[in-house]
């Protein structure tokens, strides 16, 4: 069974998003059954300077050796399956 977890960062700034992602990844350390992560970032339609969160989150994931694909404002991440 594939388990998906979703977090909605839509409307947050980068600082708030980083804190939310840090907390999520700490939580994921104890919830190893999550296989796919959906990170809602929106498309930046209300942002004066265009979308900021998509590239921020992609870079955040790269720092953790993860790859995310942005599909209509939702970054989809396949997490490595960890066996204890």
Q: Residues 59-68: pLDDT tens digits?
A: 999 999 999 9
The label of the residue with tokens 């209509």 reads 72
* Residues linked to residue 40 through DSSP beta bridges, in sequence order: 8, 74
Asked whether residue 41 is domain-assigned, the answer is yes
Q: Which residue segment(s) compose the domain that 50 sits in?
A: 3-78
Asked whether residue 71 is domain-assigned, the answer is yes
What span, in angstroms and rounded, lies between the C-alpha atoms of 56 and 51? Answer: 10
Q: Which DSSP category does 46 fall into?
A: T
User: Domain of 48: which CATH number?
Assistant: 3.30.1370.110
Asked whether residue 66 is domain-assigned, the answer is yes
β-strand pairing of 34-40 with 3-8: parallel
Q: What is the pTM of this model?
A: 0.88
- 21 token code pair: 């992602």
Per-residue pLDDT of the chain (84 residues; tens, 9 = 90+): 678 899 999 889 899 999 999 999 999 888 878 889 999 998 877 777 778 899 999 999 999 999 999 999 999 999 987 665
Domain count, the chain: 1
- 3 token code pair: 């388990």
Asked whether residue 17 is domain-assigned, the answer is yes
């Amino acid at each position: 069974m594939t388990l998906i977890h979703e977090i909605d960062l839509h409307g947050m700034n980068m600082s708030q998003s980083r804190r939310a992602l840090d907390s999520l990844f700490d939580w994921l350390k104890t919830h190893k059954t999550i296989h796919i992560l959906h990170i809602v970032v929106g498309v930046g339609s209300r942002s004066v300077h265009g979308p900021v969160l998509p590239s921020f989150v992609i870079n955040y994931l790269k720092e953790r050796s993860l790859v995310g694909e942005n599909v209509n404002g939702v970054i989809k991440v396949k997490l490595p399956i960890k066996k204890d």
